[in-house]
Chain A
Amino acid sequence: MDLLEKKMELKEIQKLEGHTDRVWSLAWNPTTGVAGIPAMLASCSGDKTVRIWQQNTSLPSNPWECKAVLDETHTRTVRSCAWSPSGKLLATGSFDATTAIWEHVGDDFECVATLEGHENEVKSVSWNSSGSLLATCSRDKSVWIWEVLPGNEFECVSVLQGHTQDVKMVQWHPFMDVLFSCSYDNTIKVWAGDDDSDDWECLQTLNESNNGHSSTVWALSFNSTGDKMVTCSDDLTLKVWGNDSATKQTNGDEFSPWRHLCTLSGFHDRTIFSVHWSREGVIASGAADDAIRLFVENNDDLVEGPSYKLLLKKEKAHDMDVNSVQWSFKENRLLASASDDGTIKIWELASLP
């Protein structure tokens, strides 16, 4: 597969309408879209609701339909949503300072827990790879780690202080219990638990002095092998970071720090809000200039280390800012995007004839 050899286009499959305010975030249900289970997507919005969208496989064109509207729980903007690895639970973080846990029962979604503790806006939620831990972060500068107990009980096991400003996003490593957070303080922090003391500590801070960002870091994403991470920022750059420990078969005791590999600058002219790495290696970015850009690794010149090429730029992907871009887990070339214009779009990365 070499995407650079073909002419590619981002083809709009469907526009999903229903939210009455900006759509902030999206999450594909990881256990759907295979073995005859219709693909499912959650979206959350400034209209205080979460919508569940599902493909109707009984119709020939498999159109996406809104299956459920989760409302009357959050009292302010719902900023972030994430499915547990089992696909059974959905966590939603809101500006109302709470995180809600929704369970998929039959055809319905039921709010089974509300996690309180943050002082103000919750900005992001993330499950670890086994689904045993949930991380949340807030404008209160803290990151909380919750243990998932039987009976939909959630116990806060650690409150991580270290960021000096609001924390924009938390994201677990795809298979290790290492947590990453990025912030309005321009840094990315790497956290891990100490097996002996049960305490969580900050192992590394990526900031301007180690080639990090010079303004708010909005989002981060990992490649499928977990040895690279991409971050996006208000400084108009994407940065790619690398790590050896994911590929070296270490027992996990030794932490090897993340290193800056390259900076993608000159491509964006307004804030980059979202970045997501597909399983086959395509980096998508969503930005305040209404465009979606796709990047792939450039194998021409490996002397200087990895570099990335712009595969394509979809201008006017939305009528307003693009807040979230998410590749589907199952269909490598399906991308969903969410915007201030209140819509979600499903795209297919296709080669031109």
Chain B
Amino acid sequence: MVAGLINANPIVYEKKERRGRSVPSTADGDEYSVEPIDQLEVFDHIRDIKDPEHPYSLEELKVVTEDAVEVDDKHSHVRVTFTPTVEHCSMATVIGLCIRVKLLRSLPSRYKVDIIVAPGTHATEAAVNKQLNDKERVAAALENPNLVEMVDQCLAPSYD
């Protein structure tokens, strides 16, 4: 990355305060009932992913927000819309891949996940979306040691 960053001076936003998960109502007395997966839970999985270029999280760069996560637990469907920091961000596919891998590792396997670039925020939006949602391309990418290393770095927990 000595050759120059794609976005050298990104705007860094404050992290949202972490809300505790609402305690499920026990009015019906069934504490063993399955708790559905919600927007906040999915957001919690991806908010701390680090940007491939910066020491900031996707939340701090507003690449992902809670509102950009749509969850339909009944139909086991999740859709994440992310916003690259700059329109020509060549890291967009890596960021998308990180989100996909994190959700692959975190959500039950019944979930179908779609990951898309926010409309109008990237020069090659359609191409990025197509690649991120082609599971064969994703599977092949995840057998590429260099890419896997990059993804794992972005997903490594930070203890600050």
Contact = CB atoms under 8 A, between A and B. Distances in A.
B135 interface: yes
B109 A123 contact: no
A215 B140 contact: no
A320 B107 CA distance: 13
Contacts of B143: 76-77, 95
A297 interface: no
Size band of the interface chain B makes with A? 10 to 19
Nearest to A165: B130
A76 B141 CA distance: 11
Nearest to A123: B136
Given A95-B140, A121-B140, A123-B136, A288 B130 contact: no
Contacts of A340: 109
Interface string A250-271: 0000000000000000000010
B45 interface: no
A77 B142 CA distance: 11
Given A46-B139, A321-B135, A215 B130 contact: yes
Interface string A328-353: 00000000000011000000000000
B30 interface: no
Contacts of A320: 109-110
Interface in A66-80: 76-77, 79
A147 to B, nearest CB: 28
A97 to B, nearest CB: 11
B27 to A, nearest CB: 32
A18 to B, nearest CB: 18
A77 B109 contact: no
A340 B110 CA distance: 11
A289 B110 CA distance: 10
Contact of B134 (A184, A289, A341): A184
Contacts of B139: 22, 46, 77, 95
B136 A168 contact: yes
Interface in B118-160: 130, 134-137, 139-140, 143
A182 B143 CA distance: 23
Given A95-B140, A139-B140, A216-B130, A319 B109 contact: yes
A79 B140 CA distance: 10
B112 interface: yes
Interface in A83-125: 95, 120-121, 123
Residue with the greatest number of chain A CB neighbours at <10 A, chosen from B109, B136, B140, B143: B136
Contacts of B109: 319-320, 340-341
A319 B112 CA distance: 11
A190 B137 CA distance: 24
Contacts of A79: 136
Contacts of B134: 184, 216, 234
Contacts of A319: 109-110
B130 to A, nearest CB: 7
14 contacts: A46-B139, A76-B143, A77-B139, A79-B136, A95-B139, A95-B143, A120-B140, A184-B134, A216-B130, A216-B134, A270-B112, A288-B112, A288-B135, A319-B109
Given A288-B112, A320-B109, 20 more contacts: A46-B139, A76-B143, A77-B139, A77-B143, A79-B136, A95-B140, A120-B140, A121-B140, A139-B137, A139-B140, A184-B130, A184-B137, A215-B130, A234-B134, A288-B135, A289-B112, A319-B110, A320-B110, A321-B135, A340-B109
